[in-house]
Amino acid sequence: MFLSMNWISDFVDFTGLDKVDYIHKFSLATAEVENEIFFKGSDISGIVVAEIKSVEPHPDSKKLHLLKVDAGEAELTDVVCGAPNVRVGMKTAFAKVGAKIGEIEIAPRPLAGFMSCGMCCSEAEIGISDDNSGIMDITDDVANGTDLKDIYEIDDIIFEVDNKSLTNRPDLWGHYGIAREFAALTGRPLKPLDTADLEAYNALQKVDMKIEDPLCQRYSCLQVENIKRSVSPVNMRIRLFYCGMRGINFLADLTNYLMLEMGQPMHAFDSRKVGKIRIKRFDQPFVFRTLDGVDRKIDENTLMICNDNTPVAIAGIMGGLDSEIVEDTTTLTLESATFDAASIRKSTVRLAHRTDASMRYEKSLDPEMTVPAIARFLYLLQQYDGGVQVVSALTDEYAYHYPQVDLTFDKAFVDRYTGIEISSDTIVKTLESLGFAVSLNGDDFDVKVPSWRATKDVTMKADIIEEITRIYGYDNFDINTTRSPLYPVREDAVKSNEDKIKDILVKRYNLHEVHSYVWAYADEQKALGIPVEENIKLANATNPNIETIRRTMIPTQLCQVKTNVGYAPEFGIFEIGRVVEGVDSDNLCIEHKKLAVTLYSKTADIRDLYFRLRDMLAVIADDLKHLPLDYRTAEPAHSYEHPVNLNTVLLDGKTIGTLGIVHPVVSRKIDKKSSIVFAEIDMDAFASVKNASISYEEPSKFPPMDYDISVIVPTGVFFRDLKKCWENEGGGILKSTRIVDTYDTEHFHSVTIRFEFSSAERTLSSGEVQEIMNRVIENLKAIDVNLR
């Protein structure tokens, strides 16, 4: 919304004050002002009123005329002018030699063979309207040679307030409300609005009007006739134009002017079409043509203004074409009303039509404003058109009163909330300057909230704090730390696991952390042959590619692997993100936080790559939990899973995730010659396993003894099967086992296992070790694992 400092200055005296400075203060105290402030008229000088004394056609041009104008100087001035509307006796805006319009300085110059010593200007050229159809037609009675700036408000400071920052302030949608803020900021009084005395017409007949729907809070109207004026006063047009509105005609301009001044939208009906005003909704939908000529579908929720049963306007949004003021309108009915804000908002959404009026109504306008708005309207009307006659009494139905908001609080409340000392005197002055009625009794405040702040904005004590502090100025606050006691803070297990896992994967394994979206990438997955798995969908997705929430992060990650083919012959990526695994019995999403890791390599053998990933997981489990992982062969559940080597990962007996190879159908689409493995770990399941403490063992003072055996392991026998052969045979001296070598031929798979024995109490004898090993070898034989 654009605001004019001239307009605001009608109500607040800025004498001796820097207006721009106060615009900045307003931005800090009330609502955000856009950075660019416009100094209207600052690039214009030397434009005077001049009268056209003679008009001669140009001998060689149909468009051009040769004028002699009286610019208030001793001699007439010769001007060559191309405007179509020149006529003798017309007064216009004239840029004299030496005048400046923007970057241009007017100088005498030959034009089509004749000297032109100045320029007649259009309103657009001076920047006071967008009318460029001809030169300005000045109808006011002013002396030739008068500087235009002396009679018209061409110089103005215009600033723009972000509409969003006014969402909660219905009172700030007009200059008068804004002026109240400036009054509070400057500490100067807010001048009252000049209004007409409506009581004078009480004896006249009332308008036939009735509110038939609770969505209309108040409806006030008045009939007037004999409006002769059709063109608005120049200053009014300038203000409207500077504030972003086009001039239309006097009556339309005046309703707009009033809306920009008081924030109250008004509408004028042709009284012939609207004799019996009824405000209601219709049971059946119908089509209604608004004054912009558009047919709009009206449903049963949209409040309408009607002439008896004929709709004439969409309440609070726009008038109808049929009831508009037309040329032969003699009597008109002025509407000033308030409607339920939520209803207007919903209607604008349904109609997809937002207007200056509806924008204001959506904010919950003050119903107290309807009658003063009519009084102000009439005052201005009478000012500018002396012949106007009021032909009805003020007709007003006030159906819904907002409750009066009274708040009580004490000084201690303010002190506690602000944390600084603001004197009672300052509090009273501030609130009063904003229109609050305050009575102070000792330390107790009783505050009556003014009607224009009581529709939704100020409802409780905390709201008063804002009023006091914003005018006091946040820049003036002393800033202090709290006096809260200190207590230890314990970190959440999931969060702490997450940080450590990231460190391990990045620092130890050189993986790259990525982020992705929470929905399946339909198109990208299709290209990789991974159908989107059935799952809960977004209800209002605008793009079908991102409709279904993902069940697993692996497809997303494979899409990202595809993106990075060519980045390096080998890389690994990971993400800790979310998936949804359907809904539970309460129809709520089952959300899980997952760690997904994918390794890609053009060079590594698939087996090596697989074990690299397995070891990463093992290191994570060992680092964070001091526990080993276990694996259980799994059946593929997703299309991207290779059926072989797919494992469920277990920690402390609990399923925490999956480790596998990417199915060749998919991996070939990513890159024909590459190996890709993946793992997905449930972070909550992982975090829920309590970590084992480090079990420290005193280093033995006696020499250890190693015993290596090489065995041939038949297909289908796993190391965990071998382990069972010595698990119960160690006799307290077998400390660890590890594979020190593997040897494969076409016929067999052989491993060399090192058994490490040691005792804290004595030097071991080869006899006792041999005895254990004999039993182990026997056990191995029993499962068909023989020495090589």
Partner 1 sequence: MDKRIDILKEEIKKKLNTTTDLAELDRVRVAMLGKKGAITALLKGMKDLNGEERKTFGAEVNRLKAYAAEKIDAKVNELNEKAIEIEIGLMPVFDVTTPPALERGSYHPITLSQRQCEAVFRSMGFTVEDYPEVVTDYECFESVNIPKHHPARDMQDTYYLENGQLLKSQTSAAQNAILRKYGKNLIENGVPIKAIFPGRCFRNEATDACHENTFFQMEGMMVDKDISISNLIYFMKTMLSEVFRRDIKVRLRPGFFPFVEPGFELDINCEICGGAGCPSCKHSGWLELCPCGMIHPNVLREGGIDPDKYTGFAFGLGLTRLAMMKYGVKDIRDLNSGNLKSLSQFTDDEN
Kindly write out the interface string for residues 317-356 of this chain, putting x where it contacts partner 1 by CB under 8 A and - elsewhere: -------------------------x--xx----------
- In the block, tokens 């997450």 appear at 498
Which region among 11-19, 185-193, 297-305, 484-492 touches partner 1 (by CB under 8 A)?
A: 484-492
As measured in angstroms, the least distance from the Cβ of 369 to partner 1 is: 20
Does position 411 bind partner 1 by CB under 8 A? Answer: no
Phi, psi of 60 (to 5 degrees): -110, 0
Cα–Cα dist 754/726, whole Å: 12
Does position 418 bind partner 1 by CB under 8 A? Answer: yes
Does position 673 bind partner 1 by CB under 8 A? Answer: no
As measured in angstroms, the least distance from the Cβ of 372 to partner 1 is: 26
Shorter beta-carbon distance to partner 1: residue 420 or 783: 420
Which region among 110-118, 230-238, 486-494, 619-627 touches partner 1 (by CB under 8 A)?
A: 486-494
As measured in angstroms, the least distance from the Cβ of 215 to partner 1 is: 13
Shorter beta-carbon distance to partner 1: residue 202 or 481: 481
Contact 335, 251 (CB under 8 A): no
Site for partner 1 in 558-587 (CB under 8 A): 559-560, 563-564, 567-568, 571-573, 575, 578, 580, 583, 587
- Least Cα distance to 758 among 697, 709, 711 occurs for 697
Q: Contacting partner 1 (CB under 8 A), which of 74, 203, 352, 486?
A: 486
Does position 69 bind partner 1 by CB under 8 A? Answer: no
Helix (H) or strand (E) holding 44: strand 44-57
Does position 516 bind partner 1 by CB under 8 A? Answer: yes
Helix (H, G, I), strand (E, B) or coil at 619: helix
Query: Nearest 5°: CA angle at 139, between 250 and 41?
Result: 80
Shorter beta-carbon distance to partner 1: residue 230 or 510: 510
Cα–Cα dist 129/152, whole Å: 13
Does position 510 bind partner 1 by CB under 8 A? Answer: yes
Does position 692 bind partner 1 by CB under 8 A? Answer: no
> DSSP label at 354?
-
Contact 520, 550 (CB under 8 A): yes
Which region among 23-31, 330-338, 739-747, 760-768 touches partner 1 (by CB under 8 A)?
A: 23-31
Shorter beta-carbon distance to partner 1: residue 484 or 745: 484
Strands 318-319 and 734-744: unpaired
End-to-end CA distance of the chain: 90
As measured in angstroms, the least distance from the Cβ of 167 to partner 1 is: 5
As measured in angstroms, the least distance from the Cβ of 233 to partner 1 is: 36
Kindly write out the interface string for residues 351-380 of this chain, putting x where it contacts partner 1 by CB under 8 A and - elsewhere: -----------x------------------
As measured in angstroms, the least distance from the Cβ of 616 to partner 1 is: 11
Contacts of residues 625-631 at CB distance under 8 Å and 24 or more positions apart, as own/partner, are: 625/651, 625/652, 625/689, 625/690, 625/691, 625/692, 626/691, 626/692, 626/693, 626/694, 627/651, 627/652, 627/689, 627/691, 627/692, 630/720, 631/659
Shorter beta-carbon distance to partner 1: residue 489 or 782: 489
Does position 168 bind partner 1 by CB under 8 A? Answer: yes
Q: Contacting partner 1 (CB under 8 A), which of 117, 465, 764, 783?
A: 465
Strands 276-280 and 208-211: parallel
Shorter beta-carbon distance to partner 1: residue 402 or 509: 509
Kindly write out the interface string for residues 235-274 of this chain, putting x where it contacts partner 1 by CB under 8 A and - elsewhere: ----------------------------------------
CA-derived radius of gyration, the chain: 42
Shorter beta-carbon distance to partner 1: residue 35 or 441: 35
Does position 62 bind partner 1 by CB under 8 A? Answer: no
- Least Cα distance to 269 among 255, 259, 283, 286 occurs for 255
Q: Contacting partner 1 (CB under 8 A), which of 35, 202, 441, 745?
A: 35
Does position 477 bind partner 1 by CB under 8 A? Answer: yes
Which region among 75-83, 143-151, 535-543, 752-760 touches partner 1 (by CB under 8 A)?
A: 535-543
Torsion sign, CA atoms 524, 525, 529, 534: negative
Tokens read off for 718: 């796993």
User: Which DSSP string corresponds to 725-787?
Assistant: HHHTT-TTTEEEEEEEEEEE-SS-EEEEEEEEE--SSSPPPHHHHHHHHHHHHHHHHHTT-EE
Does position 282 bind partner 1 by CB under 8 A? Answer: no
Phi, psi of 535 (to 5 degrees): -165, 175
Q: Contacting partner 1 (CB under 8 A), which of 164, 672, 673, 738?
A: 164
Q: Contacting partner 1 (CB under 8 A), which of 478, 534, 697, 698?
A: 478
Q: Where are the alpha helices (DSSP H) in 626-738?
A: 664-670, 683-688, 719-727
